[in-house]
Structure 1
Amino acid sequence: MPRYEYRCRTCGDTFELSRPMAESSAPAACPHGHEDTVKLLSTVAVGGTASTPAAPGSGGCCGGGCCG
């Protein structure tokens, strides 16, 4: 289930909630009981390694060739 980050406009607290994508826009109450919250745009960091290297000419800015 995705996690969404919110900030309370009343107390400034930032908190996260796990909820279905269909409920991502639903109001979220602050853990301190305040109702005036806003959903934050979160950056996603993905780590790991590729299992196979990319084939030459198969990537780049337009399918390969223009960045070389």
Structure 2
Amino acid sequence: MPRYEYRCRSCDDTFELSRPMAESGDPAVCPDGHGDTVKLLSAVAVGGSSAAAPAASSGGGRGGGCCGGGCCG
């Protein structure tokens, strides 16, 4: 379940909540009970490896580019 970060306008506390994406925009109450909160934008880092690794250039130095070297020449 995604975690969302919120900030309380009353006490300036920043806190996180785990909730479904469909509820991400719903009102959130801070841990101190204040209801005047705002959802913060979070930077998301996605890691891992790609199943399609870049292929080595072959075919007389042609490769890469916008179409993989097949039609740009």
- TM-score over 0.5 (shorter chain): yes
Q: CA deviation at 1:48?
A: 3.8
Deviations 1:7-37 (A, max 9, x none): 0000000000000011001000000000000
Moved over 2 A (4+): 46-53
Residue 9 of structure 1 aligns with which residue? 9
SS state at 2:22 partner:
helix
Residue 40 of structure 2 aligns with which residue? 40
5+ residue gaps, structure 2, are 58-63, 67-73
**Normalising to structure 2: TM-score of the pair?**
0.69
The count of aligned residue pairs is 60
Q: CA deviation at 1:55?
A: 2.6
C-alpha RMSD over aligned residues? 2.1
**Normalising to structure 1: TM-score of the pair?**
0.73
